[in-house]
């Protein structure tokens, strides 16, 4: 009954808001009136400045914010009048606007404020955005903020920084997987310049693939995901690669404990084109070579990232950018065994300002991920690999109907190609080759969204996304006896499909709706509802992602995941936007999540569906955030209480259970303090409830082995609480006008050396030695049951030299 | 894959380990039944015991008053088992054995509660020869004598095998000594010669290879048992679970651990003695 009411309510809103906009006489009048349009730039780089505030001196409450291209459009007042353009950390620009100025677009150039040197700026948004924007469960994280957070090995890491935000959990010590509001790691859409990244991690998840120097910003949606994004149910992490400056060649980089990086940017052919090229590489393998032990010095272990972005201004109204990212990992053991994986993401974007109020963006992309495993052995050698790719085109229009009403709409087509898993034995090998069948799919999405002020205080944002997904050939679908796949039932037939022949189709409407009511200028309440469908996911039962994880598409036996989220929140700013306080409550309902049967082996099978169990889940939580944005000391304190539950027939006696990342209490403190122009420091403290895990309740002996006995309830136990403090100090050379500017960063991960468990192994301990392995020469003298804890990273110092020129 | 990850972690992240004592929940005693039924005399037995608390250093409490028998479902014949005090297991009366192609049902009655499991004695593959060759040390391989097994697997289904290695009358039974294989990588493995890569032997060793062809459920049990032995409870492991037993309570309620393996038995022997004649 509730669901019917909710749906009806949503439909009314979705279809009446645009209508209301059109028939509202005031708004119609606004459309007829003139606007002042223009663009704001940063004077030092000539780059557009997004997020700058533009308002009339006489009406400071009715300002607008520049878009990503620095554009603004503000309703005219009686002229002449003073127009003010401001941006935190920059000198204010005030210009008297006359009637004649309206005939052409205005251009404002803001200069970095001298005062800004005294402040640490931790965000790129307007001061009152916390209260007045429609955003719920959204974080805009400035790259500078991320760079100021103490980092593991000194490696500034985007995804690890996002884990410090409320509502985001980690799988475990050191890993970069994100578990957002009860969702799994594969339920996050992580994209660079509009192109998805399928494996965003290096070194088995301990580092993310994003070189911070190459990025311009990150928008993280965990609650109200706008209708122009879709395809994952839990979050969107929208990352933009940095655009090169148009003035002169500049560079920045760093030499760190485990890697070095360099980024160079500047004009390309003229002042209308720019480039940025960025690279990073680890050198762990170089340290390995220093070892005298041939078993160590013959190993390879590295990752690297390369990215580039080329931007061309094709006139006043058009801009074209081409960006590409390539990242690769390799682990080689004595040139006999090799495991490598890589992402290659390429994106082309065309931005066009069709008119003063209508903007068009066209984005085409291709993202490919592959892994390869080679084992060079004359008897049992093999080459094993897999590749998956997504290609897509997205066209989006944004129309500023009036000062307070925005409409956007667009289409998005996606083509998935999951190549067969292939395993080719070496010549003479005793094993036979394996090749599964490919899986292909197409997804077409249409979306529309509209936001308007219903009253001065009440604003509504409604959106609708319609996704049509089709699993198609080339491929094979299997028919199982009784119609339900299982390892225990026979396959009665297999159907072969030719290219683009439909195997199975789904479609679903995904409504998005949010409200904001401004109680006072610095106090608002917001609410949102969001539905998302997800047509692909990782089939895995472990908590951390692996390079060889198998992605599967929705199909005959695997329905798409459906996620519904409702959230409400209260947002308050204090002391002139110096402090932000917010509290958000959310409830998320998830249908058709999967897990694996016990003992499932999905790496080489063509019948993944017979190894999968399907069920439902839900999550809820309260997220509290106190944030200080300006002054010498900045940062945030957040507390989250959240729970996550799943129910999948065949697991935990079919009862509800907590996934490993259900960690009810989560407290995070992030502090940055600038002592003076030379010295600054960062401090991070994290406390969370321990991971939900399964411990034994007894033991028994079978087949000459002593086995731990489990109750059958999944994750009914807990690791001890997790807590850790990290600290860093940065020393900058005083700017004496030299071109080369350097700084040193000293950081310590796990300052007080807390032994947070990474794993507990329930095992027999021989001769009272935890690493004793019995053999013909290692004679067993005693054996007893024991628990061995593995922990990582106690008091890990690192140093990084950063520079720019 | 998981081992590779841990090599990686050990190399790079200087992971540390220490023994800890965790407070664990306790379960009551659960019966553990381990039944082996082959076509070879001397191997067949049923061991019945109870589970115990995790930290207990006592041996499993053996149940010596259970009623144990196996039914041949093809002819209704009942084979009774008697408890043997030396072996602490139940042995078949008159040292009887199973026959190929027959379906057997194990019955174990403990304090009036009956547990049942079934299995079929499948045809065994053919073993032709077992050879050995000395190999120098290289990466992933110690120096020593390595065995290669030749034979034929002529079956298109139910290809689930377990190989046991007995060196100088001692069964190799570390977790890394389990050798389980199915037909994922084909069935021509014995035709081409199956080299036992992880098992170096010394000159003078007497080696016996035992090959068992298991029913699906018993093979799954063994696979899950090995996975559990390697499960470290970490992020890269699936949540640990008891291997799914193919033994069920007759009334459908309650819990039982262990497995019933019905299998043909074939073996091959070799004495590693270098031929110095040339």
A232 vs chain B: nearest CA distance in angstroms? 23
Query: What pLDDT is attached to residue A796?
Result: 86
Query: What pLDDT is attached to residue A116?
Result: 32
Q: Does A411 lie in the same domain as A545? A: yes
Handedness of CA A165, B232, B242, B156 (dihedral sign): positive
Q: Does B106 lie in the same domain as B45? A: yes
Q: Does A165 lie in the same domain as A302? A: no
Q: Is residue A419 part of a domain?
A: yes
* Burial of A735 (C-beta count, 10 Å sphere; 0-12/13-18/19+): exposed
- Contact residues, B window 34-63, toward A, CB-based 8 Å cutoff: 34, 49-57, 59-60
Q: What is the CATH number of the domain that holds A347?
A: 2.40.170.20
Q: Does A246 lie in the same domain as A231? A: no
Choosing from A83, A117, A151, the residue where a domain stops is: A117
Residue B222 has pLDDT above 70, yes or no: yes
Q: Which of B188, B225, B236 has the CB atom closest to A432's CB atom? A: B188
CA distance A123 to A753: 31
The chain A residue lying nearest B148, using CA atoms, is A379
Would an 8 Å CB–CB cutoff place A543 in contact with chain B? yes
Cα R_g (chain A), whole angstroms: 28
Q: Is residue A307 part of a domain?
A: yes
Contact list in A for residue B227 (CB cut-off 8 A) is 599
Q: Does A298 lie in the same domain as A196? A: no
Is B56 within 8 Å of A785 when comparing Cβ atoms?
A: yes
A236 vs chain B: nearest CA distance in angstroms? 24
Q: Does B165 lie in the same domain as B45? A: no
Domain that holds residue A664: 239-759+793-804
Q: Is residue B6 part of a domain?
A: no
Query: What pLDDT is attached to residue B5?
Result: 56
CA distance A68 to A54: 14
Would an 8 Å CB–CB cutoff place A769 in contact with chain B? no
Report the complex ipTM.
0.92
Q: Is residue A57 part of a domain?
A: yes
- Contact residues, A window 601-660, toward B, CB-based 8 Å cutoff: 601, 604, 660
Would an 8 Å CB–CB cutoff place A284 in contact with chain B? yes
| Buried b / exposed e along B165-199 (16+ C-beta atoms within 10 A) | bbbeeeebeeeebbbebebebbbebbebbbbbbeb
Query: What pLDDT is attached to residue A14?
Result: 32
Number of structural domains chain B divides into: 2
Choosing from A173, A205, A238, the residue where a domain stops is: A238
Q: Does A70 lie in the same domain as A169? A: no
- The number of C-beta contacts closer than 8 angstroms across A and B is 230
Q: Does B113 lie in the same domain as B38? A: yes
Q: Does B162 lie in the same domain as B114? A: no
Q: Is residue A742 part of a domain?
A: yes
Q: Is residue B8 part of a domain?
A: no
Q: Is residue A770 part of a domain?
A: no
Q: Does B235 lie in the same domain as B207? A: no
Would an 8 Å CB–CB cutoff place A701 in contact with chain B? yes
Q: What is the CATH number of the domain that holds A165?
A: 2.170.130.10
Contact list in B for residue A759 (CB cut-off 8 A) is 232-235, 237
CA distance B221 to B178: 13
Choosing from A238, A255, A290, the residue where a domain stops is: A238
Number of structural domains chain A divides into: 3
Compute CA distances B88 → A727, B50, B82, B96, whole Å.
60, 13, 10, 18
Q: Which of B1, B54, B237 has the CB atom closest to A698's CB atom? A: B54
- What are residue A682's DSSP bridge partners? A672, A728
CA distance A642 to A218: 24
Q: Does B222 lie in the same domain as B118? A: yes
The pLDDT > 90 percentage for chain B reads: 60
Q: Does B223 lie in the same domain as B113? A: yes
Q: Does A105 lie in the same domain as A148? A: no
Is B233 within 8 Å of A693 when comparing Cβ atoms?
A: yes
* Burial of A5 (C-beta count, 10 Å sphere; 0-12/13-18/19+): exposed
Domain that holds residue B136: 127-211+266-271
- Contact residues, A window 660-679, toward B, CB-based 8 Å cutoff: 660
Provide the residue count of chain A: 805
Would an 8 Å CB–CB cutoff place A790 in contact with chain B? yes
Q: Does A250 lie in the same domain as A231? A: no
- Mean pLDDT (whole number) for B85-104: 94
Cβ atoms of B107 and B248 within 8 Å: the answer is no
Helix (H) or strand (E) holding A313: strand A300-313
Q: Does A552 lie in the same domain as A471? A: yes
Handedness of CA B201, A430, B119, A650 (dihedral sign): positive
Q: Which of B15, B19, B186 has the CB atom closest to A765's CB atom? A: B19
Q: Is residue A123 part of a domain?
A: no
Peptide bond preceding A545: is omega within 30 degrees of 0, i.e. cis? Answer: no
Q: Does A217 lie in the same domain as A167? A: yes
Q: Does A331 lie in the same domain as A190? A: no
Is A598 within 8 Å of B197 when comparing Cβ atoms?
A: no
Is A204 within 8 Å of B12 when comparing Cβ atoms?
A: no
Q: Is residue A8 part of a domain?
A: no
Q: Does B133 lie in the same domain as B112? A: no
Q: Does A348 lie in the same domain as A390? A: yes
Q: Is residue B21 part of a domain?
A: no
Is A541 within 8 Å of B194 when comparing Cβ atoms?
A: no
Contact list in B for residue A544 (CB cut-off 8 A) is 235-236
Is B244 within 8 Å of A599 when comparing Cβ atoms?
A: yes
- Contact residues, B window 62-121, toward A, CB-based 8 Å cutoff: none
Q: Is residue A336 part of a domain?
A: yes
Cβ atoms of A787 and A768 within 8 Å: the answer is no
Would an 8 Å CB–CB cutoff place B185 in contact with chain A? yes
Q: What is the CATH number of the domain that holds A92?
A: 2.60.40.1120
Q: Does B251 lie in the same domain as B205? A: no
B259 vs chain A: nearest CA distance in angstroms? 9
* Tokens linked to B146: 């390595």
Q: Between residues B209 and A170, which one has the greater pLDDT?
A: B209
Would an 8 Å CB–CB cutoff place A498 in contact with chain B? no
Query: What pLDDT is attached to residue A691?
Result: 93
Is B239 within 8 Å of A541 when comparing Cβ atoms?
A: yes
Alpha helices in A263-377 (DSSP H): 284-289, 294-297
Contact list in B for residue A612 (CB cut-off 8 A) is none
Q: Does B224 lie in the same domain as B118? A: yes
Q: Is residue B200 part of a domain?
A: yes
Q: Which residues of chain A have pLDDT under 70?
A: 1-34, 44, 61, 88-89, 112-127, 137, 174, 288, 291, 293-296, 735
CA distance B265 to B268: 10
Is A700 within 8 Å of B30 when comparing Cβ atoms?
A: yes
Query: What pLDDT is attached to residue A500?
Result: 94
pTM recorded for the entire structure = 0.83
Would an 8 Å CB–CB cutoff place A446 in contact with chain B? no
Q: Does A587 lie in the same domain as A506? A: yes
Between vectors from CA A145 to CA A139 and to CA A150, what angle results, nearest 5°?
120
- Reference A695, options A672, A683, A671, A713; nearest CA is A713
Would an 8 Å CB–CB cutoff place A277 in contact with chain B? no
């Amino acid at each position: 009954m509730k669901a019917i009411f909710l749906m009806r309510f949503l439909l009314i809103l979705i279809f009446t808001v645009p209508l209301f906009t059109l028939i509202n006489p005031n708004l119609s009048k606004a459309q007829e009136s003139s606007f002042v349009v223009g663009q704001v730039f940063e004077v030092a780089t000539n780059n557009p400045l997004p997020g700058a505030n533009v308002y009339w001196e006489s009406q400071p409450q009715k300002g607008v914010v520049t878009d990503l291209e620095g554009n603004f459009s503000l309703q005219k007042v009686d002229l002449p009048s003073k127009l003010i353009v401001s941006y935190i950390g920059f000198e204010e620009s005030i210009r008297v606007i006359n009637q004649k100025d309206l005939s052409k677009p205005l251009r404002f150039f803001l200069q970095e404020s001298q005062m800004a040197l005294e402040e640490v700026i931790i965000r790129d948004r307007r001061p009152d955005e916390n209260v007045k924007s429609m955003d719920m469960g959204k974080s805009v994280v400035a790259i500078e903020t991320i760079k100021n957070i103490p980092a593991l090995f000194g490696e500034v890491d985007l995804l690890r920084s996002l884990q410090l935000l409320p509502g985001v959990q980690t799988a475990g010590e050191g890993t970069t997987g994100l578990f957002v509001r009860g969702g799994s790691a594969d339920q996050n859409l992580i994209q660079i310049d509009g192109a998805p990244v399928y494996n965003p991690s290096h070194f088995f998840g301990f580092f993310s693939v994003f070189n911070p120097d190459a990025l311009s910003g990150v928008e993280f949606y965990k609650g109200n995901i706008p209708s122009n994004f879709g395809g994952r149910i839990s979050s969107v992490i929208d990352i933009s690669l940095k655009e090169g400056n148009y003035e002169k060649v500049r560079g920045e980089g760093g030499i760190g404990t485990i890697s070095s990086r360099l980024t160079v940017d500047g004009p390309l052919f003229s002042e209308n084109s720019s480039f940025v090229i960025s690279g990073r590489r680890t050198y762990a393998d170089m340290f390995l070579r220093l070892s005298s032990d041939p078993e160590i010095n013959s190993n390879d272990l590295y990752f690297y990232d390369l990215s580039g972005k080329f931007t061309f201004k094709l006139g006043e109204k058009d801009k074209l950018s081409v960006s590409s990212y390539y990242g690769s990992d390799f682990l080689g053991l004595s040139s006999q065994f090799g495991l490598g994986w890589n992402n290659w993401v390429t994106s082309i974007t065309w931005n066009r300002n069709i008119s003063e109020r209508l903007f068009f963006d066209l984005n085409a992309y291709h993202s490919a991920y592959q892994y390869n495993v080679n084992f060079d052995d004359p008897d049992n050698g093999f080459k094993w690999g897999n590749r998956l790719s997504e290609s897509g085109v997205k066209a989006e229009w944004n129309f500023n109907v009036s000062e307070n009403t925005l409409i956007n709409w667009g289409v998005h087509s996606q083509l998935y190609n999951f190549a067969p898993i292939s395993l080719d034995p070496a010549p003479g090998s005793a094993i036979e080759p394996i090749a599964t069948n490919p899986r292909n799919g197409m997804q077409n999405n249409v979306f529309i969204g509209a936001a308007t002020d219903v009253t001065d205080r009440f604003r509504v944002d409604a959106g609708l996304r319609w996704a049509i997904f089709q699993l198609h050939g080339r491929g094979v679908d299997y028919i199982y006896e009784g119609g339900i796949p299982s390892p225990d039932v026979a396959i009665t037939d297999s159907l072969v499909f030719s290219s683009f022949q439909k195997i199975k189709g789904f479609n679903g409407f995904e409504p998005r709706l949010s409200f904001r009511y401004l109680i006072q200028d610095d106090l608002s309440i917001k609410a949102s509802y969001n539905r998302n469908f997800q047509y692909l996911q990782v089939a895995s039962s472990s908590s951390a992602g692996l390079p060889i994880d198998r992605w599967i598409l929705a199909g005959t036996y695997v329905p798409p995941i459906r996620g519904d989220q409702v959230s409400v929140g209260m947002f308050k700013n204090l002391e002139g936007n110096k402090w932000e306080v917010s509290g958000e409550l959310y409830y998320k309902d998830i249908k058709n999540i999967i897990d694996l049967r016990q003992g499932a082996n999905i790496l080489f099978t063509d019948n993944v569906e017979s190894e999968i169990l399907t069920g439902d889940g839900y999550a809820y939580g309260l997220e509290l955030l106190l944030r200080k944005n300006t002054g010498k000391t900045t940062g945030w304190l957040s507390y989250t209480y959240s729970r996550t539950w799943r129910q999948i027939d065949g697991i935990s006696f079919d009862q509800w259970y907590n996934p490993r990342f259900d960690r009810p209490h989560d407290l995070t403190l992030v502090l940055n303090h600038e002592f003076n122009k030379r010295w600054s420091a960062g401090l991070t403290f994290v406390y969370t409830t321990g991971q939900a895990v399964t411990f034994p309740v007894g033991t028994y002996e079978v087949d000459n082995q002593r086995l731990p006995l489990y109750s059958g309830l999944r994750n009914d136990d807990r690791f001890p609480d997790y807590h850790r403090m990290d600290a860093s100090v940065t020393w900058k050379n005083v700017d004496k006008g030299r071109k080369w500017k350097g700084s040193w960063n000293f950081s310590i991960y796990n300052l007080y050396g807390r032994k947070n468990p990474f794993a507990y192994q329930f095992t027999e301990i021989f001769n009272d030695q935890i690493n004793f392995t019995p053999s013909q020469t290692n004679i067993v003298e005693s054996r007893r049951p024991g628990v061995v804890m593995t922990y990582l990273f106690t008091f890990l110092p690192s140093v990084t030299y950063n520079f720019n020129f | 894959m998981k081992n590779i990850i841990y090599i990686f972690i050990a190399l790079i992240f200087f992971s540390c380990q220490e023994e800890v004592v965790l407070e664990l929940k306790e379960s009551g005693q659960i019966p553990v039944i381990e039944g082996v039924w082959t076509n070879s005399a001397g191997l067949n037995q049923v061991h019945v015991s109870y589970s115990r608390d995790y930290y207990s250093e006592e041996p499993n409490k053996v149940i010596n008053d259970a009623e144990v028998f196996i039914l041949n479902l093809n002819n209704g014949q009942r084979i009774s088992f008697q408890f043997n005090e030396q072996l602490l297991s139940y042995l078949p009366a008159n040292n009887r054995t199973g026959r190929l192609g027959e379906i057997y049902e194990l019955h174990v009655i403990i304090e009036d509660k009956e547990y049942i499991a079934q299995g079929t004695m499948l045809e065994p593959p053919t073993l032709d020869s077992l050879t050995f060759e000395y190999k120098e040390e290289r990466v992933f391989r110690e120096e020593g004598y390595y065995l290669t097994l030749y034979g034929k697997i002529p079956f298109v289904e139910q290809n689930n095998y377990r190989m046991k290695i007995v060196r100088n009358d001692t069964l190799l039974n570390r977790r890394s000594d389990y050798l389980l294989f199915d037909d994922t990588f084909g069935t021509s493995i014995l035709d081409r010669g199956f080299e036992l890569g992880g098992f170096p032997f010394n000159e003078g060793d007497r080696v016996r290879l035992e090959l068992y062809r298991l029913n699906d459920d018993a093979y799954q049990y063994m696979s899950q048992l090995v996975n559990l032995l390697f499960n470290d409870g970490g992020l890269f492991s699936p949540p640990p679970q008891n291997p799914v037993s193919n033994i069920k309570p007759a009334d459908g309620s309650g819990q039982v651990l262990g497995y019933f393996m019905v299998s043909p038995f074939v073996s091959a022997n070799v004495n590693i003695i270098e031929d110095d004649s040339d």
